[in-house]
Each structure stands twice: as structure tokens, then as C-alpha cells.
Amino acid sequence: MNTLIQSLLAERDKNVNWHPYTQMKTAGDAIPIVRGKGVYLFDDEGKKYIDAVSSWWVTLHGHAHPYIAERVYQQLTTLEQVIFAGFTHEPAVQLSENLLNLLPKNQKKVFYSDNGSTAVEAALKMCIQYAYNSGKEKTKILAFKNAYHGDTFGAMSVSGRSVWTKPFGSMLFEVVFIDTPNAENLESLKIQISEIAEETACFIYEPLVQGAAGMLMYEAEHLDELMKFCRSKEILMIQDEVFTGFGRTGKLFAANHLAEIPDIMCFSKGLTGGTMPMGITTCSQEIFNAFLSDDKYKTLFHGHSFTANPLACTAALASMELLLQEETLAAIDRISRQHSDFTDILEQHPNVENVRQTGTILAFELKTDQHTSYFNEVGKVLYDEFLQRGIIMRPLGNVMYLVPPYCITAEELDFTYRNILEVLDTFKNQVHFPIHAAGQE
Ligand SMILES: *Cc1c(COP(=O)(O)O)cnc(C)c1O
């Protein structure tokens, strides 16, 4: 292909498309991607890119996976969609059975929606209405500072306040934000929670890794302590595994690192292997039971047009089959080990700080004069540099991270590491970047 076609597509795109999280005035042309295969994406000039961020953390087994494609095609020619109120279908039943089998034993019911944000919305409604249906006055919600649970209004309300949420500040419902737990602050967190426990309906958290905040990590044992305390105070727990689910943390779910169990869990992103949009909210029998009544007002009045879409369910079934194969689990282990070895190297690097890793998620910060924030200018420079080198990384400010699809080979991962080290060396003598973007506060 030639550049004329590229510029044409980029131009047409500019005429009609409004891209997510993009300042359209200053953004460069979008890169037209014409196909994907495994860990690679190909642009219209035939240049290939390693998708080191799994296309916004969703792709598990690589792009255009033939097995998932075949299964979805078969389903598409059998049943593509059916209203899920009053009707059901094999893919939805099978997927619910298979998923519940992998989750903590108290998870008994599956509620379908379209994406991570809607999975969170449904979870929040379950908790608030659980209290309502039980005749209790509990409307406070507890969440972590820097949390990210999505972009719809409810999900935004339980996310940390930032420049992203600023224009909507007055419209967001009140949430009590606490620090993520560590050995030092656990007791003071418990005191904070105690003070509002009676009015608190639920606690929502990203387990072990706060993704959008910049891959901030905290220990499972400290979360366990906090969960145990919430349980003792009858505060429902929503474990948002939209990002951490399906192998990301080195185990199938972040739940597999924890001794305590949540009441509700949220899934999306890797759920369909990154092929189709779908969200799932699971809950315990106790929560489900609180909505059973002859009183119609106790119904969970929530639903989306594409609830339990058969194609998305089928993609999720196929992706989960692939995920549970021995070679995929071995690949997750291998990526985790490679990351861990690379962590040792990064820690020696003079330009790098705060190296951290949980399973297949690796993150570190480039030392700069600027505060760590989403708007740190370094990110854009790095982004362009890695694109040049045929690697898609999307730094969150000066936080660089890798979240590769599990199909990435040892060699492809080493290639990525090598390029990171080269780029870091390029920047070794020029860590002073101009400060002109707005800060996080
Ligand atoms: C991405 C994300 C969401 C939102 O999911 P969308 O599908 O983008 O709406 C919610 N929670 C967490 C932890 C996420 O990382």
C-alpha cells in the first residue's frame, strides 16, 4: 500500500471520528490498522507492531484468533441475538456454568451487560438496592483513592477524582475514598471504615493492581485484612476484576491470590479474549435472594439491549477454553518469569524508579522533573519512539507498562525489553522535559 491511501484514511477518519481520551485538536493522525495476527497489528503500509498493551488490556490470545473466529462464525449463522428477558440460549447458560466453576464458591449468579463500566453499574445497583430491599438506610460507598472503575456516571463516581472527572464533579454521588492498604496504615483504615460502617452499602476495589491509575500495586495480604474487616461490618464487597481477570495477575483471577471472598465480582476486557464487548457481574446467593419477592418493586430493573449476546458469549466460551489449555497457562507463567528477570535489570537502571510487577503486568517509571501524572509530557515522546520501533506501548504519563497478549513468544518479549533499554539509554542524558501540560490536580 502507499502513503496516499494512508493519508486518505487518516483524513477521512478526522472528518468523521471522535476518538476516546484524545484531544482532537493536537492529536496526530490515527494510524490505520488493516489486520492483526497473533501479537502483531499491521498498518496499511505493511508495517507491523507488537501489541504490547493488548489493545487497551483486552487481547488475551492474540489478534484474529482462528479458533475464536470459527466459533463465532458458527454461532453467527445459528443465532446472533435474542432478547434475554424471557428467553435464554446455550452459550449464555454454558458460559455462566463455566465461569462460576472458576470463581470463589460463593459466586452463584451471573448478570450480563456490555462492558466494564456497565458491569460496575450493575454491581453498584445490586448493593444499593440490596440495602433498600432489606429496609436498611445504607447509601454510602467506599472506594480507593486513584481508583478507576469506568466512565459512565456511576462508575465515574466511584473512581478517584481527577482531571477526567472534573467537569462532572458536582454531578457525581458522594463516595468515601481511602488509601490502598499497607502494613503501616491498616489500623487507621479500619478506624476510618468503622466510623461510617453503619451507613455504608459497599466497598468497591480493584484487587492488587490499580490499572488506569498507572499500574499501582498493593499486597494481597493487606487487602485480605481489609476484606475481613468489611465482612465483620457487613459492608458488601465488589471486586472489580475487569482488568485483573483471566490470567493477568499470573493466576486466573486476582481472587486466586486472596483468602477472603467478595460478594460481587465484575468482569470484561479479557472476558471474550478481547474479541467482542461484554460485561459480567456475578453475585452471591444472598444478594440474589434479596431481590426475590412478590413485591415487584424489589426487582433489579436493569438491562441492556445486547444482554448476553450469543456471539459475545460464544467468543468468551472459546477464549476461556484457550485460556485453560496447559500451554496458555505455561505461557502466563513464562511471561511472569521473564518480567521478573527484566525487573531485576530495570532496577539497576539510573533513569528508572518504582519498578513493579504482578504476573504478566510490568510497570516502571521514568525519572523526570515532572510529577507523575497522566499528562506528563514524557509519555507522548516515548509513545512515538516505541511506535517508530514497531512496538505499541501507551505510557500513562511517565509510567511505562507492559501487558502483552499471552501468545507473545519469549523472543518477542525479549525484543520488547531490548527496545525499552535502548530507549531508556537514549533518554539517559536528557531527562529534563518541558513542563507545560496541566497537572493531575
Ligand atoms: C477498564 C476498566 C473498567 C471499565 O471498563 P470499560 O469496558 O472500559 O467500560 C472498569 N474497571 C476497571 C478495573 C478497568 O480497568
27 and 95 inside one domain: no
Q: Examine the domain organization and report whether 279 and 353 are in the same domain.
A: no
| Ligand 1 center to 11 CA (angstroms) | 30
In a domain, 55, yes or no: yes
pLDDT at 377 (0 to 100):
76
Assign 189 to helix, strand or coil.
helix
pLDDT by residue (tens digit) across 70-83?
A: 999 999 999 999 99
The response to whether residue 157 sits with its C-beta less than 6 Å from ligand 1 reads no
List the residue whose alpha carbon is closest to atom 11 of ligand 1. 149
Question: Is ligand 1 within 6 A of the CB of residue 117?
Answer: yes
Q: Is residue 437 part of a domain?
A: no
Average pLDDT along the chain: 94
Same structural domain, 21 and 152: no
**Is there a domain that residue 94 lies in?**
yes
CA of 345 to the centre of ligand 1 (A): 31
What's the pLDDT at 434? 40
CA 117 – ligand 1 centroid, Å:
6
Residue 441's pLDDT is 29
Residues 71 and 8 in one domain: no
Predicted confidence at residue 343, as pLDDT, reads: 98
Distance 116 CA to ligand 1 centre (A): 4
pLDDT digits (tens, 9 = 90+) for 221-242: 999 999 999 999 999 999 999 9
Tens-digit pLDDT profile for residues 376-413: 678 888 999 999 999 999 998 889 999 999 999 999 99
Give the pLDDT score at 251.
98
Q: Is 136 annotated as a binding residue?
A: no
Pocket mutation for ligand 1, best pick of 54, 59, 148, 276 (most atoms within 8 Å of C-beta)? 148
In-domain check, residue 436? no
Per the structure, the count of domains in the chain is 2
Are 209 and 148 spatial neighbours (Cβ–Cβ below 8 Å)?
no
Q: Which residues are catalytic?
A: 21, 148, 240, 269
Residues 271 and 414 placed together within one structural domain of the fold = no
| Residue 197 domain flag | yes
Q: Are residues 59 and 86 in the same domain?
A: no
Rounded to whole angstroms, how far apart are CA atoms 321 and 49?
Answer: 27
Of 306, 324, 342, which marks where a domain is finished? Answer: 324
Give the separation between CA 206 and CA 85, rounded to whole angstroms: 30
Domain boundary residue among 307, 324, 341? 324
120 lines ligand 1 (CB under 6 A): yes
Query: Quick check: is 438 in a domain?
Result: no
Q: What is the residue range of 367's domain? A: 2-64+326-426
Q: Does residue 249 sit in the same domain as residue 304?
A: yes
Count helices and strands (H / E) in the chain.
13, 16
Is 115 a pocket residue for ligand 1 (Cβ < 6 Å)? yes
Q: Find the CATH number of the domain harbouring 30.
A: 3.90.1150.10
Distance CA 180, CA 366 (A): 23
Centre of ligand 1 from the C-alpha of residue 271, in Å: 12
The confidence score (pLDDT) of residue 380 equals: 86
The verdict on whether residue 148 carries a ligand-binding annotation is yes
> How many Cβ atoms from other residues are within 10 Å of residue 191's Cβ?
8
> How far is Cα 278 from Cα 282, in angstroms, rounded to an integer?
13
Q: For residue 155, give the ligand 1 atom closest to its CA.
A: 10
Say if 432 falls within a structural domain.
Answer: no
**What would you report as the CA-atom Rg of the chain, rounded to the nearest whole angstrom?**
22
CB atoms within 10 A of CB 77: 8
* Residue 62 assigned as binding residue: no
- Ligand 1 atom nearest residue 241's Cα: 13
Q: Answer yes or no: do 182 and 319 share one domain.
A: yes
Q: Among residues 324, 352, 368, which one ends one of the domains? A: 324
175-204 mean pLDDT: 98
Closest CA to 329 of 220, 224, 256: 256
112 has binding-site annotation = no
* Residues recorded for the chain: 441
Residue 436: is its pLDDT beyond 50? no
Instruction: Identify whether residues 129 and 226 lie together within a single domain.
Output: yes
Q: Are residues 212 and 97 in the same domain?
A: yes
- How confident is the model at residue 379, as a pLDDT? 85
Q: Is 109 annotated as a binding residue?
A: no
**Is 56 labeled as ligand-binding?**
yes
Task: Kindly indicate the confidence band of residue 368, based on its pLDDT and cuts at 50, 70 and 90.
Answer: confident
- Residue nearest to ligand 1 atom 5, measured at CA: 116
What share of the chain has pLDDT > 70, as a percent? 93
DSSP string, 380-434: HHHHHHHHHTTEE---BTTEEEE---TT--HHHHHHHHHHHHHHHHHTTT-----
Measured from the Cα of 120, ligand 1's closest atom is: 10
Shared domain for 403 and 294, answered yes or no, is no
- The pLDDT of residue 1 is 45
pLDDT at 307 over 70: yes
Residues 50 and 73 in one domain: no
CATH of the domain at 130: 3.40.640.10
What pLDDT does residue 134 have? 95
User: Which atom number of ligand 1 is nearest to the Cα of residue 151?
Assistant: 9
Structural domain contains residue 433? no
